[in-house]
Amino acid sequence: MNHWIVAPIVLPAILAPFIIMVLRYHLDLQRIFSVAGVVALLGIALTITAQAAGGDIQVYELGDWPAPFGIVMVLDRLSAMMVLLTALLALPIVLYAIATGWDNRGKHFHALFHFQLMGVCGAFLTGDAFNLFVFFEVLLIASYGLMTHGGGAVRLKAGVQYVAYNLLGSTLFLFALGTLYGVTGTLNMADIAVRVAELPPEDTALLRVGAVLLLLVFCIKAAVLPLHFWLPASYANAPLPVAALFAIMTKVGAYSILRMYTLAFGPEVEATQGLVGDWLQPAALLTLAVGAIGILGSQHIARMVAFCAIASMGTLLIAISLFTPEATAAALYYVFHSTLATALLFLVADLVMERRSGAITPKPPMPQGGLISALFFVGAIAMAGMPPLSGFVGKLLVLDAARDAPNANAAWAVILIGSFITIIGLARAGSLIFWKSHDVQFLSEGDPEDREVAPAPEPQPGLAFTAVFGVVAGLIALTLFAGPALEYTSKTAEQLFTPEHYISAVLGGEE
Amino acid sequence: MEALVATAVGVMTAAGIFLILRRRTFPVILGLSLITYAVNVFLFATGRLALNAPAVLNKYEDVPYTDPLPQALVLTAIVISFGMTAVIVMISLSAYLSSKDDHIDMTAQDCVDAPGEDA
H or E element in which residue A27 lies: helix A27-53
CA distance A104 to A250: 26
Closest by Cβ to B112, choosing from A150, A161, A299: A299
Structure confidence by residue, pLDDT tens digits, A93-151: 999 999 888 888 888 899 999 999 999 999 999 999 999 999 999 999 999 999 988 88
**What's the average model confidence in pLDDT over A381-404?**
90
Partner residue opposite A181 with nearest CB, options B70, B115, B117: B70
User: In CATH, what class is B2-50+66-107?
Assistant: mainly alpha
CA distance B61 to chain A (A): 24
3-state SS of A320-381 is: HHCCCHHHHHHHHHHHHHHHHHHHHHHHHHHHHHHHCCCECCCCCCCCCHHHHHHHHHHHHH
Alpha helices in A223-239, H assignment, sequence order = 230-237
Q: What angle do CA A351, A315, A211 make, to 5 degrees?
A: 115
Q: What is the pLDDT of residues A199-234, one digit of tens each?
A: 887 778 888 888 889 999 999 999 988 888 889 888
Kindly report the nearest CA distance between residue A169 and chain B, in angstroms: 11
Closest CA to A176 of A251, A264, A117: A264
Whether the pLDDT of residue A176 is over 90: the answer is yes
Contact residues on chain A for B42, CB-CB shorter than 8 A? 174-175, 178
**Per residue in A383-412, is it b (16+ CB within 10 Å) or e — as a string?**
bbbbeebbbbbbbebbbebbeebeeeeebb
pLDDT at residue A444 in the model: 67
Residue count of chain B, please give it.
119
Separation in Å, CA of A32 to nearest CA in chain B: 24
- From the CA of B31, how many Å to the nearest CA of chain A? 10
List of residues 6+ apart from A282 with CB closer than 8 A? none
Please give the residue that has the higher pLDDT: either A203 or A329: A329
DSSP single-letter state for residue A200: -
Segment A436-463, tens digit of pLDDT? 877 766 666 656 555 555 555 555 568 8
Instruction: Confirm or reject contact between B107 and chain A (CB < 8 A).
Output: no
Chain A environment of B113 (Cβ under 8 Å): 299-300, 357, 359
DSSP string, A407-438: THHHHHHHHHHHHHHHHHHHHHHHIIIIIGGG
Instruction: Residue B29: list chain A partners with CB under 8 A.
Output: 164
Three-state SS at A21: helix
Where exactly are the structural domains of chain B? 2-50+66-107
Lowest mean pLDDT among A55-64, A287-296, A373-382: A55-64
pLDDT band at A511 (very low <50, low <70, confident <90, very high): very low
Closest CA to B69 of B57, B59, B52: B57
User: Which residues 56-95 in chain B show a CB within 8 A of chain A?
Assistant: 69-70, 73, 76-77, 80-81, 83-85, 87-88, 91-92, 94-95
- Using the 8-state DSSP alphabet, how is residue A58 labeled? E
- Band of pLDDT at residue A39, cut at 50, 70 and 90: very high
Distance CA A385, CA A333 (A): 13
Give the list of residues 6+ apart from residue A395 with CB closer than 8 angstroms, or none. A315, A334, A385, A415, A419
| Distance in angstroms (rounded) separating the CA atoms of residues B25 and B28 | 5
The secondary element (H helix, E strand) that includes residue A242 is helix A240-263
- Of the listed ranges A226-240, A267-281, A329-343, B55-69, the least confidently predicted one is A267-281
